[in-house]
Amino acid sequence: MWSLVKRSDIGAAQQQLVSQRAELLRRQAEELARLEADEADLEALDRLARTFSTKFKKTAPVAPVAVMTKKADPPAPPHQYGVSKPHPRTANADRRGVAGTNFEVFSRAMSKSAF
């Protein structure tokens, strides 16, 4: 096999690698220039945002806006102590074999941990 490789082939391969490296370095320089321009734009935007926020900063807190509803919500039925309805996720979770509510999952995880 080595008898088939000529000096001209090695020289052509070296020249190809040199040109590929030059192209790679050129693209890298272009990308770095774009990134630096983007960074400068972001820094300018940050300065403008800081200037705007300090110029128009409110000193008094803003009162919350009241939400208007179309109908009044019906009153909640009185709670009947001693009667508990299962949580819908818990009922479905029983079929999967895992606890369904976040509290149940957290409780199970805490009971397994070394705290």
**Pair (3, 47) in one structural domain:** yes
Mean pLDDT of 40-65: 80
**Pair (90, 40) in one structural domain:** no
Residue-level pLDDT at 41: 94
Q: What is the pTM of this model?
A: 0.41
Q: Which of 16, 42, 58 is the last residue of a domain?
A: 58
| Pairwise CA distance, residues 110 & 99, whole Å | 13
71: pLDDT strictly greater than 90: no
Q: Does residue 69 lie within any of the structural domains?
A: no
Residue-level pLDDT at 4: 85
**Pair (53, 5) in one structural domain:** yes
Q: Which of 42, 58, 74 is the last residue of a domain?
A: 58
More confident residue, 67 or 15: 15
Residue-level pLDDT at 7: 87
Q: Does residue 63 lie within any of the structural domains?
A: no
104: pLDDT confidence band, cut at 50, 70 and 90?
confident
Residue 110 structural domain: 82-115
54: pLDDT confidence band, cut at 50, 70 and 90?
confident
| Pairwise CA distance, residues 18 & 11, whole Å | 10
Q: Does residue 74 lie within any of the structural domains?
A: no
